[in-house]
Structure 1
Amino acid sequence: MTVPVEPGVASPPVPTMQIADHPWLRPDDLAIPMLPAQAHRVLQLVADPDVTITRLASVVSKDPVLATRVLGMANSALYGAMSPLRSVSDAVVRLGTRTVRNVVVTVSMHSQVKSPEVYGQEGARFMEHAIGTAYVAHMVAERAREDVDEAFLCGLLHDLGKLVILRTAHDYQQKHKIVIRGNELQAALTDHHATCGALALQFWNVPPDVCEIVRHHHAFEQAGDPQAAAVCYAANLLSHRYGFGCLPDGDAVLEDAVFAYLKLDAEWMARADVRAPGLFSAARQALG
């Protein structure tokens, strides 16, 4: 597997899920984005129920970009900040450890898409859609009484496989001096991004339940926890409806059975229509 790993970060076992149809899209040759060492460490720490605020803040503080974004989020309108915080430790207290994890993953993903020769305009659109879906997933999870922090992370990462496919296609074309046809690339993005995303998350050692939801975010009934996967599925539909990182799909998506499955009625939807764009705007501002 063609995966650059930060020095000092142990490589986890290569995942075993299979993909097909495209000779350039083989599991052993996927160009999985590199997770920065500090972000990898944050994921490890937050998975430890005994992690201390001091330890987590110390790791975040070692990366100026991460520290700035965590402070920015803690001081944003999203968290009703009345007085500005100036220390990362205080920011971790205000946000909570899992929200800090989600901010760190967001920043790490944002750094990956800043390669116009690889992603073109898709990079910026990808991040907007990821952030929008994450915040909508948080809202849907509140209603469905699911884990809101996990829902946010799944919404954020649900299309990670598209980055993997675009980078893999770019590297293959550079190496073999060929051009992959646009319709073939689009078919790979449509058909295999969920599997490729789950492969990448397994390699990052993201919790298995998150990998499972990302793998099945277009077919929530097949997931081990259909309710949690349905939250991600519905959030993705709503993010498309609102036009977060894409052209708005409009109200047609509301005909999907998932909204009845999660009991997202007209009253909830009306509140979401007001709340979601505001959250999206505030998050974009806080995350730079």
Structure 2
Amino acid sequence: MLTNNLTAFYDVMFGDVNSEAPMHKLEINTLQKVKVILNNPTMLGQQIPALPAMLVRLLNIIQDPDSDVSSFVEIIKQDPSFAMEVLKKANSATYHRGDKEILSLSRAVSFIGLAGLLRIATTLLMARVIPCKPIYYKMFGKQIWLHSVQCATLCELLADNNDENGFDGYFLGLIHDLGKIIIFDCLSNALAEELTSLPGTKVFKELMTEMSVDISYLIAVEWNLPNVYSEGLRQQKTANRSALAELLYKADKLSEVYLLMTKGIISEEECENILTTYSVDKDLWHEFTDIAVKIEENMS
């Protein structure tokens, strides 16, 4: 049984074979690539995907206290094909509970609220950042993105339950694993050069876990995201965290617990003990797990 929650994501991805063995050539090559990127701002800038322009505009509007619902709707309307994507998602089982189809963005707001509309728009825009190379998406990208959206959902629920900004919680959860995108892209390149064995040693997993947090923070800085997001990511490695950063930390750990439970790696009883340790309301957890199932269904 896998019990090291520090490397839970990597344990699910690669398994626990030979975990105590020294790092092999593939792992060493990948680690070297990631370290070079971390220590070279120019190379990091080349690796970081561009932030979608519409997302920049939406985030700017969110920070503007004088903005209203129409401001958000007008920005989304500027890209008709994207507006159609938003409406399609608004009509999915994850968001829409009614019988009538939602045919306009204004109608979408009345059904799912502005928060729901923003959640859909930012999720669709951030999905464009995930590399689409077949080997990458099949082996790593889909699982990273699924975990990110599920973590974002739980972080929003926790934020709402703790009188914090729900959208900030959601977006922070959505971007918290950006570092893994860079790391797994490097791993994909290494696999293309030498497909001998998948990485699985404990030391490799722990180093990747630690470095992915650093890279996520550096990406947020490179993107010039509002301080609430970049600081929320930076504080994942510190003992003193803001209220929102603490909620992200909890959401990340618990969404990984959910991943382990769905893979049969830990039992429901073990999961309940962890929820007690983190003082998570069971009704909130059940709400999250219901949504998490729908999120995965929509991605399959």
Range of TM-score over shorter length: 0.7 to 0.9
- 1:157 pairs, out of 153, 175, 179, with 175
What SS is found at the alignment partner of 2:67? Answer: coil
1:86 aligned residue: 103
Instruction: For structure 2, list consecutive stretches of 5 or more residues without a partner in the other structure.
Output: 1-32
Q: Indicate how the Cα distance of structure 1 residues 22 and 220 shifts in structure 2: closer, same or farther if over 3 A, else same.
A: closer
Q: Indicate how the Cα distance of structure 1 residues 192 and 222 shifts in structure 2: closer, same or farther if over 3 A, else same.
A: farther
State the shift of 1:57 in Å.
1.9
Matched, 1:39 2:55: yes
CA offsets, 1:169-211, max 9 Å, x none?
667999xx899x9468645421111121111122223221122
Q: Indicate how the Cα distance of structure 1 residues 172 and 121 shifts in structure 2: closer, same or farther if over 3 A, else same.
A: closer
State the shift of 1:108 in Å.
2.4
- 2:65 pairs, out of 37, 40, 49, with 49
1:116 aligned residue: 134
1:23 aligned residue: 36
1:136 aligned residue: 154
Q: Indicate how the Cα distance of structure 1 residues 27 and 86 shifts in structure 2: closer, same or farther if over 3 A, else same.
A: farther
Deviates more, 1:60-69 or 1:202-211: 60-69
Matched, 1:70 2:83: no
Deviation beyond 6 Å, 4+ runs, structure 1: 171-174
For 2:111 and 2:299, the matched residues in 1 are separated by 16
Corresponding letter in the other structure for 1:141: A
- 8 A contact 1:70–1:103 mirrored in 2: yes
TM superposition score normalised by structure 1: 0.72
1:211 aligned residue: 230
Q: Which has the higher helix share?
A: 2
TM superposition score normalised by structure 2: 0.70
1:15 aligned residue: none
Aligned pairs for 1:129-278 within 5 A: 129-167=147-185, 182=199, 186-217=205-236, 219=237, 221-223=239-241, 225=242, 227-243=243-259, 247=263, 249-250=266-267, 252=270, 263-264=279-280, 268-269=281-282, 271-278=283-290
For 2:38 and 2:238, the matched residues in 1 are separated by 24
For 2:188 and 2:291, the matched residues in 1 are separated by 34
| Greater RCO, CA 8 A, separation 6+ | 2
Q: Indicate how the Cα distance of structure 1 residues 171 and 40 shifts in structure 2: closer, same or farther if over 3 A, else same.
A: farther
Instruction: For structure 1, list consecutive stretches of 5 or more residues without a partner in the other structure.
Output: 1-19
Corresponding letter in the other structure for 2:225: V
- 8 A contact 1:45–1:56 mirrored in 2: yes
Deviates more, 1:230-239 or 1:141-150: 141-150
What SS is found at the alignment partner of 1:222? Answer: coil
- 8 A contact 1:137–1:231 mirrored in 2: yes
State the shift of 1:127 in Å.
1.3
What SS is found at the alignment partner of 1:22? Answer: helix
2:13 aligned residue: none
For 1:90 and 1:101, the matched residues in 2 are separated by 14
Q: Number of matched residues?
A: 258
CA offsets, 1:138-185, max 9 Å, x none?
2222332322221111222221111123335667999xx899x94686
RMSD: 3.6
